[in-house]
Amino acid sequence: MRAGLALTDEGDALYHALRDLEPGDFDRPTGCPPWTVRDLLAHVHTAVRRTLDMLEGPTPAAAEVDAVGYYRPDHRFDAAADAERVAAAQRETTDGQSLVDGIADACRRVAAAGPADRLVTTRHGDAMTLDDFVVTRVVEVAVHGVDLALALDRPPWTTQTARRVVLDLFPAAAHAAAEQFGWDDQMFLAKATGRAPLVGAEREAAPATAHLTLAPTSI
């Protein structure tokens, strides 16, 4: 399962990048307000761990949504849903370092769950293959990893395997724009997910690169 390998790699990279944080680092603000670093870690931990809960649920008859379709703009990403995501992360009482450890562990457990074509139902009612849902978990860990790196004044640690999984969600026009502007994969990821601003002529490419530019707390 390609997505599973990427998830393991990204979880391990996050662990190695953040295992030396000082207690005060967990209280830093992030670009996903009102979340602190600890809140954002709690959100990522819940988002990955949720996959294990889904595997205990009923198996749908057929897949109805793929990874791209999962991000269609609807009630799942509206203001009310976003507010609940914010509150849920803030209710998490686990200490920051335990969250760092827990994310890496959950990533490895999800990656080993298989098989890739197993069918699952998301908490929003989407019927998907496990592999497609794991792609969305790679998005969670990789994109919010960029948010965490920015909040902590550290260079991003995004792995090549995770970058490719995320960038494959974007249409050919987005990849053409990245080539036109000379973006490497890390810059493509930042621009296409709203973590770096589009400037000048790049703004004309916005329709091609706006697929995942939801509210920062929506993924």
- As a whole number of angstroms, the distance between CA 123 and CA 17 comes to 30
Instruction: Read off the pLDDT of residues 68-126 as tens digits, 9 standing for 90 and up.
Output: 999 888 877 778 888 888 888 888 878 999 999 999 999 999 999 978 899 999 988 99
Domain that holds residue 143: 2-168
**108 assigned to some structural domain:** yes
Q: Band of the pLDDT at 187, cuts 50, 70, 90?
A: very high
Q: Any idea what the CATH number is for the domain that residue 133 is in?
A: 1.20.120.450
**188 assigned to some structural domain:** no
**90 assigned to some structural domain:** yes
Instruction: Read off the pLDDT of residues 195-216 as tens digits, 9 standing for 90 and up.
Output: 888 888 888 776 666 555 555 6
Q: Which residues does 110 contact at the CB level (< 8 Å), separation at least 6?
A: 4, 7, 48, 51, 52, 134, 137
User: What is the SS3 string spanning 136-194?
Assistant: HHHHHHHHHHHHHHHHCCCCCCCCHHHHHHHHCCCCHHHHHHHHHHCCCHHHHHHHHCC
Phi, psi of 121 (to 5 degrees): -115, 125
**147 assigned to some structural domain:** yes
Total number of domains constituting the chain: 1
pTM of the predicted structure, to 2 decimals: 0.93
**127 assigned to some structural domain:** yes
- As a whole number of angstroms, the distance between CA 104 and CA 89 comes to 18
CB contact at 8 A, 134 and 11: no
Instruction: Read off the pLDDT of residues 122-148 as tens digits, 9 standing for 90 and up.
Output: 988 999 999 999 999 999 999 999 999
Q: Which residues does 158 contact at the CB level (< 8 Å), separation at least 6?
A: 10, 13, 142, 145, 146, 186, 189
**17 assigned to some structural domain:** yes
The conformation of residue 43, written as its DSSP 8-state character, comes to: H
